[in-house]
Amino acid sequence: MSSDASTVDADYAMRHWLGEDPGQIEIGSEAHKRLFCRMLLDTHNPYKPAVIVWPKLDPEALQRVTSLPIWDIAVQTEGRAQLRVSAYTALVNDPLLREALVMDGGEEARHKVVLGKLVEFYGISLAPEPAYQMPKDPEWGWLVTGYSECVDSFFGFGLFEAARRTGYFPDELVETFEPVMQEETRHILFFANWIAWYRRQLPWWRRLAFELKVVRVWTFLIWERIGIARGLDHNGEMQDANFALTGSQQIGLDLKLSELLDLCLAEDERRAAGYDKRLLRPTFMPRMARLVRRFMR
């Protein structure tokens, strides 16, 4: 993005946010709902994809960027996310939560436009997009998108930083794409708080059904990623978001898994550090990473 004063301000504002009234808040309360909804709404960065100036890359950098097998799936993931978020939004009556979900879905739509512009500018050819299906159960779709973002962002943050450090992605490109990464931080923060809040709204019998659905969502996500990894083995091409699993080789890094996990943990913390400490942080991926990390040197 360009770096005039208003852009710099907007960039700062999207990364730093405190709720208005200090003091403790109870998870699941109205105050909690206000806190996580306002966080998303107030930190929205109003950039316009159409005016993003994509940096010219030297031939080698261009080759590296265009040959990454992630663009199809990135575009499709955003397309599906946008649809799933808006399907769930239609079920929500609470005005503030609805406003925040509209914002969330709108940002997913914008990610897709940003990626479309990037792909067009660098001449990356994409497979034809599938017809995106409206989820039959909108809550299911929203949970799938929310948890997927928690998993993929966790690895994405580390890989993005690794690609920056090694120069695999030139600085100007990192800078241009950076707001999209930070938006995913806001999304997973929003999702982690929404789910904690939502759980507390449910009477026990609905809560039970909901927890079963969450288990089914995780089963689906694991199955989806195994399927993707298989697809990679058969034709040597990466078709989906398991970029996380093989990503460090893809970006030509000689990183040990332990180093990658450390980087993911550090980036995950750094990106969320500027937001109100009373908001819950997504914990599942960092906990898993720390657990795995304990068995490594």
CB of 111 vs Fe ion, minimal distance in Å: 4
Instruction: Provide CB contacts within 8 A for 48, sequence distance 6+.
Output: none
Cα–Cα dist 105/86, whole Å? 6
Q: Which stretch binds Fe ion (CB under 5 A): 72-80, 196-204, 228-236, 254-262?
A: 72-80
Contact partners, residue 175, CB within 8 Å, separation at least 6: 1
Which of 161/183 has CB closer to Fe ion? 183
- Cα dihedral 108→165→63→150 (10° resolution): -30
Which residues make Cβ contacts (< 8 Å) with residue 224, sequence separation at least 6? 240
Q: State which residue, 25 or 158, has the beta carbon closest to Fe ion.
A: 158
> Is 112 one of the binding residues for Fe ion (CB under 5 A)?
no
CB of 232 to Fe ion, least distance (A): 22
Which pair of tokens denotes residue 30?
């109205």
Both tokens assigned to 87: 């399907």
- Supply the minimum distance, in Å, between the C-beta of residue 20 and Fe ion: 25
Report which of 29, 47, 264, 291 is spatially closest to residue 153, judged by C-alpha positions: 264
111 binds Fe ion (CB under 5 A): yes
How many residues bind Fe ion (CB under 5 A)? The answer is 6
Nearer to Fe ion, 180 or 253 (CB): 180
Give the residue nearest to Fe ion (CB): 187
Q: Which residues from 161-190 bind Fe ion, rule CB under 5 A?
A: 184, 187
Residue ranges in contact with Fe ion by CB under 5 A? 78, 108, 111, 149, 184, 187
